[in-house]
A and B are shown apart, each in its own frame.
Chain A
Amino acid sequence: QKEVEQNSGPLSVPEGAIASLNCTYSDRGSQSFFWYRQYSGKSPELIMFIYSNGDKEDGRFTAQLNKASQYVSLLIRDSQPSDSATYLCASRSYNTDKLIFGTGTRLQVFP
């Protein structure tokens, strides 16, 4: 069964630090990878996606993809208390329009 695995956390980081969120996937046919942020009681909100090996930066966020290791990560620089949320990782395989979601990592940024 195709899976996306994430550590449930919580991951606690001080304000201003770099938060590193990690995700592994089992399907080697996965082509695109997505990071969503979900605040408590709210719906997931897309932060960014990545499909090429390497890094992709968007503001304070950097997504990293290593297809050989089947590993995706999200770095949040200068973490703020407003970044406290659950972060969901998702993958898409080449032959489907469906996403497979991990169960999410809860991030806590303390002042």
Chain B
Amino acid sequence: DVKVTQSSRYLVKRTGEKVFLECVQDMDHENMFWYRQDPGLGLRLIYFSYDVKMKEKGDIPEGYSVSREKKERFSLILESASTNQTSMYLCASSPQPGLASHNEQFFGPGTRLTVL
């Protein structure tokens, strides 16, 4: 079974703090993703990585950065947290498409971040 883990289920931070969200997958997947999910807005892609040290902006990258130094680990960084970054953050991973795969994404349990 694919396992995607995230460092925290719940996190409370103060405005202006630097926040690190960690994600680890154990299936040797090439692709990793960070989303945020807000009521009525669905899943919105923040950043995407298709290989170590490679990253691509998603739909809402402003206020976020990412790091992928190892294949299994993808970190999301909030340089200076703001109240509008209060949200559920979901990490996902997927294999490259191939004979047995169509890029299906597997999600971690999520981190509910509250910025006060």
B-contacting residues of A (Cβ < 8 Å)? Answer: 31-32, 34, 42-46, 49, 51, 88, 90, 92, 97-99, 101-104
Chain B positions 47 through 85: 1 when the CB is less than 8 Å from some CB of chain A, otherwise 0: 010100000001000000000000000000000000000
Given A43-B110, A97-B31, are A49 and B97 neighbors across the interface (CB < 8 Å)? no
Range of interface residues on B (Cβ < 8 Å): 20 to 34
Residues of chain B with a CB closer than 8 A to A43's CB: 90, 107-110
Residues of chain A with a CB closer than 8 A to B109's CB: 42-43
- 8 A-B pairs with the lowest CB-CB distances in the bound complex, closest first: A103-B42, A32-B102, A43-B107, A101-B43, A43-B110, A97-B31, A44-B107, A92-B103
Q: Are B42 and A46 in contact (CB under 8 A)?
A: no
14 A-B pairs (CB sep. < 8 Å)? A34-B102, A34-B104, A42-B110, A43-B90, A44-B43, A45-B107, A46-B106, A97-B48, A97-B96, A97-B103, A98-B45, A101-B42, A101-B43, A103-B40
